[in-house]
Structure 1
Amino acid sequence: MRRGACLVAALVAVSGCAAPPALSDRDERLQVVTTTGLLRDLVQRVGGDRVHVTSLVPDGADPHAYEPSLRDVRNVVYADVAFSNYVMLEQHNIIKTLDANLDEDAANVSLAEEAVKYAAEIIPLVEDVSLDTIWLGLRARGDGERFGANRSSDVLLSMTAARGPGDVFGYLTGSFGDTEVYFDSSDGFDAGDGYRADTATLPADAHTHMSWAFTEPGVYELTLSARLRVDQRSKPVSLGGSTFTVVVGVPPEESGVDDPTVVNRGHADLTVDLDREELYALYDPEGGGEFSQEVVPADSAVVEVPNKALSEVPAGPEFGFLGRPGDRVYQLAQAVLGKHVHGEIDPHLWHDVRNAMSYVEVIRDTLVDRDPRGAREYRRNTTAYLAKLDALDRYVRDRLARIPESRRYLVTTHDAFAYLAKAYDLTVAGFVTPNPAAEPSLADRRKLSDTIRNLRVPAVFLEPNLAARSATLTEVAEEQGVRICPIYGDTFDDQVTSYVRLMRFNADSLLECLG
C-alpha cells in the first residue's frame, strides 16, 4: 500500500480518492494518528514539537460507537505512526480504517497489548449477570490464524432460516436509542451474498450483546451460518452452520430436543468457533468468565425465553419494526446499552495511572524507532512526563485514601472503572444496565435502589458524554436523596482536555461526593 493511492476503509461509505493533506500539514514533523483524544494527549506529551498528532474519534464522542469519516481516512493514509488502544475498546470500523489505509511502512501499535510488556496490569472482563432473563449474544471464538485472519478480518454470522409460530428479531440499540436490526424473519431471509441483510459482523475472538424479540409464544428453530472474510479482497470462507432451539413462553420440555441443556440464566452466546469450524452455544450461567463457560452443542441447547420476558413495544419510530406501540412481544434484553463488542480483557487500562505510564513508555520507544534523530527529545519529554504521572498517581491515591472505607462504592452508568477501583481500593457496586428497548422494570429499579440504600451510597456518578442515557440512574438517585456527580471515562470535553486533568478531576469528584 502506498501513500497517495486511492484508499478507502472497509464499511466506510466514501467515493473517490482521499484528498491530499493541507499545505500546513506538509512539514517535517512525524505524522501520528491515534484512535482517541486521550491517546492523542499522551502522544503529544512525548512527541512535543516533533510530532503532528490527530485523533480519529472526536472529543465527546463514544469510541465504542464512532464511525470514521472521509477526513479520518485521509489522516490515516498520510500517517507515519498509528496508535490504538485496542483490546476492542474502539468500534471495529475504526480499527479497519487504520489497518486498511495505513501505509505499509508505517508503525501500527496496539497500546494496551504492548503495554503489558512494560508492566501494565490487565483485568479480565467478567460481566454482571443480574438480569431476570438470560443475556443472549453472538460470539466469534478463536483468532482464525490458520486462515490468515487478523484484527481487521470480519466474521459474518447470518440467520438463514427461522421456524416458529411468530417472527423473530435480533437487533442492537445504540447509545442514544437508535436501533440496528441484524436479523428479521418477518420479510424472509437474504437470498443474495448475505453481507448486508440478516447478517451480523464481528471481529475474530469477540462477542456482542443483542436484544432478541419474539412475537408469539411457542417453539422456534433458528438456523445460523458463519463465514470468515479475511480481507476486503478475499472470498469469504465457510465455517459451517447450526440450528438452535428457543422456547418462548412455554416449558422447555415442549422443545422436542432429546436430553436438552436448558440455557436460561447468566450469559450465553451463539458462537462460531473459528478453530473447530462449527457453531454452538457458549453458556456462562454464573458470570464467572472463562472459568464457568460451558460449550453446549447446538442440537442439545434449548434457550428459554420465560413469560416474564413479555413486554410492550415502546413508542418511537426506531422500534417500528417490532410492531405498533403497545403490541406485546417476548424480549431478551440487550442489557448493556450501546454497541458493546468486546473481548475478554477490560480495555480501560488508563484509569490506573501506572498503566498509563506503561503506555507512555511504549509511545516513547515507538517514536524513537520511527524518528531516531528525535530520540533525545522524546526521552527527555518522557522522563519529565513520567515524573508528572508519578505525582499524579500519588495525588489520586492520597485523595481517594481520604474516603471512609464504608463509603468507597462506585455506582456509574458505564462499566469502565474496574482499573480505578482495583488500583485505588474502591468497590464497583453497580452500573446501569437498562433494557434499552423498554422502560426499566420495577425489578430493575428496585435492584438499583436496594444497592444505593443498603450500602448507604452517598453519590452516583455519570459520565458527561453519556448523560442522555442515564435517566434511570438519575431518577433513582433523586428518589434515594443521593448526589449525582460527574466522572470521566474515555473521552474529553471542554472542561477536561488532558489525561492528567481527567484523573485529577475524577479523584476530586470522588472525594467530594463520597468523602
Structure 2
Amino acid sequence: MKRLAATLLLALTAAGCSAPPALSGADSRLQVVTTTGLLADLVRNVGGDRVLVDAIVPDNADAHLYEPTLRDVRNVVYADVAFSNYLLLEAQSVIKTLDANLPEGVDQISLAEGATKYAAEIVPLVEDVSLDTVWLGMRATGTGRQPGVTRSSDIRVSATAVTGPGRMAAYLTESFGNPDVFLDSGDGFAAANGFRDDTMTLPPDAHTHMSWAFTEPGVYRLTLRAELAVTSGSKPLPLGEQAFTFAVGVDPSTVPGMTGATVLRGGHTDITTDIDTGQLYYSSDDQRLDPARTVVEVPAKALREVPAGPGLRFLGRPGTHIHQLPQAVLGRHVHGEIDPHLWQDVRNAQAYAELIRDSLIGADPAGAAAYRTNTDRYLRELTALDTYVRDQIAAIPASRRHLVTTHDAFAYLAKAYDLPVAGFVTPNPAVEPSLADRRRLTETLRNLRIPAVFLEPNLRARSSTLVEVAKQNHVKVCDIYGDAFDDRVTSYVAMMRFNADSLRHCLT
C-alpha cells in the first residue's frame, strides 16, 4: 500500500497536484478525510486545531451521485483517519475510493452503523405513509450447513413458469434509476448455456428489494426454482421449487383453491430461499408463511402508468397502465431498508460526535484531552440546538404541521420532532416522477390544505415537478437542507437552525 501511495503521488504531481502539506513537515495535524461536508464539519468541531479535514463530496453536490477526482484520491492516500456515513448514502464510487486508497492500517469508520453503540436510533427507510401495498423482495438465508458455503457462494432463484391473464415482470431499480430485469414472462423461460435468463443471484444471508409489474388484472401464479453454487463454476446443487400466487386488481378471497388463505396486503415481505432446508417461502415480520396458503394482493390502487424513457419499455408504452408493487429502496443492497440520514435527529448527531471523538483519540492519543474538551463543548451546543428545533416545530399548529419534500430523506426529522411526512415527489431523486406521482402529490396538497412544500437547494434543478405542482395549487416553495451545504448554510448547526426556522415560517 505504501508503494501504491508513492506511485499515486508521482502520478498526481505530474498531473499538477502538489503533495499535501504534511509530507513536507509543514503541517503536523491529523489528516482526516470524510465523504461529505456535513461529516467534515462534525469532525472539525470535535478535532479543533489538531485536525486537518478534507471532504470528498463538495458543497452543493449530491453525495448519492458524486464521482471522486484525482485530488480526492490524493487526500485519501495520505489520510490518518477516514469517516463515511454509509448505509448506502454515498455513491459506491466514493466508498470504493476510500476502500481502495486508504493507507495500510487506516480504517474507514462508518458513522451511521457505529453510532448505534452511542445510543443513536435508526428507523426504516420506508415510512408508513407509503406502505399502501406490500413491499416484496428476495432473500437468501440459512446457517450454511451445506459443505463449503461461504459469502462468495451464490443462491440462484430462477423463474420457470408464469400463468395469468397478462405479462408479469420483476426488476431492480438501481441507485441511478436504471432497471435490471430479473423476470419477464413475455419472452419465455428457455435456458441458455445451462442458465436461465430469468434468474436472481444472491449471496448467503442477503436480500434485495424489487418492483413487480402486471399488465392485466387477474390471478397470476409464478413458479420459482432455487439452486446453490458453492464456488464459482461449480455445478449448482438443486434446493427446491415453489409456486407463488398474486391477486392483481381482484378480490384475493376469490382466488380458486385459496379459500381461507393468508393475504399479504402491506409491510415488508421477502420471497425467501433457505439454503439449509431447500425450502422457498414468504418471510414477513419474522413469520414464515407457506406459499401454498398465501396470496399476495396487488390492489386496484396499485395501478400506475409506465413512465417515459427507454429503460422501462419492457413494461409497455409510456402512459400504459400497469399494476405495480414498487421497490421499497432503490439499489441492489443488503441493508438498504435503514434510512441513512440519521443526523436529521440532532441526538443522533451527538452520537456521531462521540464516535468521532473516540476514533480521533485512537489515532492520536496525545490529543485525547483536547478531543474530550471539544466534544463536551459541542455536545452542549447540540443539546441547545435540539431544544431549538423542537420548540420551533412545536410552535407550528398541528393542522398545518405536514412535510412535503422533494424525496423521502427526512424520516428522522419527522419522528424526532413530531412532523408527519405527508408526501414526497418520488422516493429517489434519480427517478423521474410519473403522472400518477403528480396526481398523488396534488391530492395530498389539496386534501391536507398544505401551505408550503420544501425542496433541497442542491436538488433544485431536479425539482421541477414539485415546483410546478405547488404553483398550480398556489402553495409556497421553501428551502430545506438534507445533506449538503452551500454559501448560505456552512455548518451542521446552521443547517438545522435554518430548517427549523424555514418550517415554522412557511407552515405557520
SS of the aligned residue for 2:435 comes to coil
Distance in 1 separating the partners of 2:109 and 2:276: 26
Residue in structure 1 matched with residue 372 of structure 2 by the alignment? 379
Distance in 2 separating the partners of 1:388 and 1:39: 16
Answer yes or no: is 1:208 the counterpart of 2:209. yes
Distance in 2 separating the partners of 1:360 and 1:267: 32
The structural deviation recorded for 1:317 is 1.9
Structure 1 residues 144 and 69: alpha-carbon distance in aligned structure 2, compared to 1, 3 A threshold = farther
Deviates more, 1:311-320 or 1:273-282: 273-282
Q: What TM-score do the two structures reach when normalised by structure 2?
A: 0.75
* Aligned partner (choices 336, 340, 345) of residue 347 of structure 1: 340
Distance in 1 separating the partners of 2:97 and 2:132: 38
**Contact 1:133/1:332, CA 8 A, preserved across alignment:** no
The structural deviation recorded for 1:35 is 3.3
The structural deviation recorded for 1:489 is 1.6
Distance in 2 separating the partners of 1:145 and 1:84: 35
The structural deviation recorded for 1:221 is 1.6
Distance in 1 separating the partners of 2:314 and 2:149: 38
The structural deviation recorded for 1:112 is 2.7
Distance in 2 separating the partners of 1:349 and 1:277: 38
Distance in 1 separating the partners of 2:340 and 2:66: 16
Distance in 2 separating the partners of 1:59 and 1:177: 23
**Contact 1:21/1:78, CA 8 A, preserved across alignment:** no
**Contact 1:219/1:254, CA 8 A, preserved across alignment:** no
Answer yes or no: is 1:331 the counterpart of 2:332. no
Answer yes or no: is 1:414 the counterpart of 2:407. yes
| Matched residues, number | 489
**Contact 1:18/1:73, CA 8 A, preserved across alignment:** no
The structural deviation recorded for 1:462 is 1.9
**Contact 1:448/1:476, CA 8 A, preserved across alignment:** no
Output the amino acid matched with 1:111: L
Structure showing greater Rg: 2
Residue in structure 2 matched with residue 280 of structure 1 by the alignment? 281
The structural deviation recorded for 1:91 is 5.4
Distance in 1 separating the partners of 2:162 and 2:247: 12
Distance in 2 separating the partners of 1:213 and 1:333: 9
Deviation sequence 1:58-95 (CA, Å, 0-9, x none): 54454456677787677656543232324454456755
Answer yes or no: is 1:449 the counterpart of 2:442. no
SS of the aligned residue for 2:481 comes to coil
The structural deviation recorded for 1:370 is 1.0
Identity %: 51
**Contact 1:311/1:330, CA 8 A, preserved across alignment:** yes
Residue in structure 2 matched with residue 483 of structure 1 by the alignment? 476
Deviation sequence 1:104-135 (CA, Å, 0-9, x none): 52233232333233343444556326566543
Answer yes or no: is 1:439 the counterpart of 2:440. no
Deviates more, 1:312-321 or 1:199-208: 199-208
How is 1:3-152 mapped onto 2 (pairs within 5 angstroms)? 3-4=2-3, 23-25=18-20, 27=23, 28-64=28-64, 78-90=78-90, 98=98, 102-103=102-103, 105-123=105-123, 127-128=127-128, 130=130, 133-139=133-139
Deviation sequence 1:5-29 (CA, Å, 0-9, x none): 59xxxxxxxxx98986654226354
Output the amino acid matched with 1:500: V
Structure 1 residues 155 and 116: alpha-carbon distance in aligned structure 2, compared to 1, 3 A threshold = farther
Structure 1 residues 242 and 451: alpha-carbon distance in aligned structure 2, compared to 1, 3 A threshold = farther
Output the amino acid matched with 2:326: Q
SS of the aligned residue for 1:429 comes to strand
Answer yes or no: is 1:163 the counterpart of 2:171. no
SS of the aligned residue for 2:416 comes to helix
The structural deviation recorded for 1:363 is 0.6
**Contact 1:190/1:198, CA 8 A, preserved across alignment:** no
Structure 1 residues 272 and 502: alpha-carbon distance in aligned structure 2, compared to 1, 3 A threshold = farther
* Aligned partner (choices 496, 500, 504) of residue 511 of structure 1: 504
Structure 1 residues 336 and 452: alpha-carbon distance in aligned structure 2, compared to 1, 3 A threshold = farther
Q: What TM-score do the two structures reach when normalised by structure 1?
A: 0.74
Output the amino acid matched with 2:84: S
Structure 1 residues 212 and 98: alpha-carbon distance in aligned structure 2, compared to 1, 3 A threshold = farther
Output the amino acid matched with 1:452: L
**Contact 2:426/2:433, CA 8 A, preserved across alignment:** no
Output the amino acid matched with 1:448: T
Output the amino acid matched with 1:263: L
* Aligned partner (choices 359, 383, 393) of residue 386 of structure 2: 393
**Contact 2:249/2:323, CA 8 A, preserved across alignment:** no
**Contact 2:159/2:224, CA 8 A, preserved across alignment:** yes
How is 1:145-294 mapped onto 2 (pairs within 5 angstroms)? 158-164=157-163, 167-173=167-173, 178-185=178-185, 186=187, 188=189, 191=192, 198-199=199-200, 207-214=208-215, 219-223=220-224, 225=226, 240=239, 242-243=241-242, 244-248=244-248, 253=254, 260-272=261-273, 278-283=279-284, 290=285, 294=287
Residue in structure 2 matched with residue 9 of structure 1 by the alignment? none
Distance in 2 separating the partners of 1:499 and 1:202: 38
Output the amino acid matched with 1:262: V
**Contact 1:280/1:296, CA 8 A, preserved across alignment:** yes
Distance in 2 separating the partners of 1:209 and 1:425: 30
What are the ranges of 5 or more consecutive residues in structure 2 without an aligned counterpart?
A: none
The structural deviation recorded for 1:495 is 3.7
Distance in 1 separating the partners of 2:156 and 2:79: 33
SS of the aligned residue for 1:24 comes to coil
Distance in 2 separating the partners of 1:66 and 1:30: 25
Answer yes or no: is 1:501 the counterpart of 2:494. yes
Q: Superposition RMSD on alpha carbons, in Å?
A: 4.7
Output the amino acid matched with 1:348: H
Deviation sequence 1:270-292 (CA, Å, 0-9, x none): 23457877542234xxxxxx4xx
Distance in 2 separating the partners of 1:237 and 1:108: 36
Structure 1 residues 142 and 506: alpha-carbon distance in aligned structure 2, compared to 1, 3 A threshold = farther
**Contact 1:160/1:189, CA 8 A, preserved across alignment:** no
Residue in structure 2 matched with residue 286 of structure 1 by the alignment? none
**Contact 1:227/1:240, CA 8 A, preserved across alignment:** yes
Distance in 1 separating the partners of 2:93 and 2:71: 14
Distance in 1 separating the partners of 2:321 and 2:215: 6
